[in-house]
A and B are shown apart, each in its own frame.
Chain A
C-alpha cells in the first residue's frame, strides 16, 4: 500500500514538474499560458462597498424634493426644521403647482385676473382652490385607513420663488385656507452657517 502511495506521489510530482516546465517554455516563447491573468479586486470592492453604503445612507429621504431651476429661486433661511410629507404648493416665476401638477400660470408675479373670485381684485384663485380641495380629499381618504397620515391633514408646504410679491403669497394662502388648510410650512434652503433648532 505504502509503495503504491509513493508511486502516486511520484507520478503527481512528475506531472507537476512537466507542467511547470511546459509553462516556462511557453513563457520563454512568449506564448500565453492556459490560466487567465486575474486582477486583485478585493481592495476595489472594499472602496466601492464603503462608497455604496455611504451613498445609501446619505440618499435623500426628504419629504420634499425640489429640482433647482432659474424659474424657482428658493430663498435661504436660518431654520433647521425638517420638511414633512404634506401637500406641496409650488409657486414659481411662471406657474403654480399642487403636488407637482400644474394648477395655473403666473405672469410677472400675478395670476390672470379672470381666474380669481371676485375677478381682478379677489384673493380666491379658482383653479388652485379646486386642486387643493381635491388634494385634501385625497389626504382624508388616506387618513381614514392610515391614522398616522392624518397628522399632516390641513398642512401645506409652500415652495415659493424669492421674487414673488407678497400679494401672490397672500392670495395663495387665502385660497389654501378656503380649502381647509390652516397651517403652512415655508420651504427654504437651510443656511448651514447660521443653523438653529
Chain B
C-alpha cells in the first residue's frame, strides 16, 4: 500500500537580520556624534628649575663662554630677544623692541581687525640665525607682560620650534621654558 507522504515544507533559510540591523542603526548615530571633529595636539612646556646653578659647563661649550639663555619677552610693542643676558638690539630702533610689531590683522573676539601684529616670520628667521651659531642649543625661555594673551604665547612657541626651508623642516628651539612675566 502506497503511503501518502506530506510534501516537504520549504525551509526559510534567510537570516533574521532585524536585531543586527537594530544594533547597527543605533551604533552608527552614536559613533557619528562621538566622532572627533578636531584633532588635538600638545606642546611640551617646562617651568624653570629651581636649584643651584651647574658649575660644570656642557662638554661642547667653551669654559669661559656664558650659557646662551635665549629669551623672548613679549610686550605690547613687540618681541624683545635676549641672548647671554644681553638684549639683541634692533639696528633701526636701538631703544625699541628687537622685533617690533608690524601691520596686519589682529583677532579680537574671533574676528580679524586691522591692527599691529607680532612678526613671527622675522622671529623665525632671527632664531634660525642664532641656531646657526649655536647648533646644539635647544632651549628657549618665553615670558610676557601680564596682559599678553595666551594665543600669542602659543604662536611664539610655534614660530620658535622650527623653520620651513622649502619642503624641509629645520628644528630650532623646541624645548620651551615658561618664565614669570615681564615686570
A positions within 8 Å CB-CB of B: 4, 7-8, 11-12, 15-16, 38, 41, 45, 48-49, 51-52, 55-56, 58-60, 62, 64, 66, 68, 73-84, 123, 157, 160-167, 169-170, 173-174, 177, 182-190, 192, 194, 196
Question: What CA separation (Å) do A186 and B177 show in the bound complex?
Answer: 12
Chain B: CB-nearest residue to A64? B40
B95 at the interface (CB under 8 A from A): no
Is B150 a contact partner of A169 (Cβ separation < 8 A)?
Answer: yes
Report the stretch among B28-36, B81-89, B126-134 that lies at the interface: B28-36
Report the stretch among B54-62, B98-106, B155-163 that lies at the interface: B155-163
B113 at the interface (CB under 8 A from A): no
Is B161 a contact partner of A60 (Cβ separation < 8 A)?
Answer: no
- Residues of chain A with a CB closer than 8 A to B43's CB: 77, 79, 81, 185-186, 188
Instruction: Please report whether the interface of chain B is mostly helix, strand, loop or mixed according to DSSP.
Output: mixed
- Residues of chain B with a CB closer than 8 A to A183's CB: 44-46
**Given A51-B28, A162-B150, are A186 and B144 neighbors across the interface (CB < 8 Å)?**
no
Is B2 a contact partner of A4 (Cβ separation < 8 A)?
Answer: yes
Contacting A45 at CB < 8 Å: which of B4, B21, B38, B46?
Answer: B21
Range of interface residues on B (Cβ < 8 Å): 35 or more
Question: What CA separation (Å) do A165 and B178 show in the bound complex?
Answer: 14
B11 at the interface (CB under 8 A from A): no
Q: State the Cβ distance, A13 to closest chain B Cβ, in Å.
A: 10
Is B180 a contact partner of A184 (Cβ separation < 8 A)?
Answer: no
- Residues of chain A with a CB closer than 8 A to B149's CB: 162-166
- Residues of chain A with a CB closer than 8 A to B7's CB: 11-12, 15-16
* A–B Cβ pairs within 8 angstroms, 13 of them: A8-B5, A45-B24, A51-B28, A52-B28, A59-B35, A83-B42, A162-B149, A163-B150, A164-B150, A166-B144, A186-B42, A186-B43, A188-B41
B25 at the interface (CB under 8 A from A): yes
Is B40 a contact partner of A66 (Cβ separation < 8 A)?
Answer: yes
Chain B: CB-nearest residue to A183? B46
Q: Which residues of B from 121 to 143 have beta carbons under 8 Å from A?
A: 143
Is A82 a contact partner of B17 (Cβ separation < 8 A)?
Answer: no
Is A41 a contact partner of B110 (Cβ separation < 8 A)?
Answer: no
**Given A60-B36, A187-B42, are A166 and B24 neighbors across the interface (CB < 8 Å)?**
no
Return the 5 tightest CB-CB contacts between A and B, nearest first.
A167-B146, A55-B31, A162-B151, A185-B42, A60-B36
Chain A: CB-nearest residue to B49? A182
- Residues of chain B with a CB closer than 8 A to A7's CB: 2
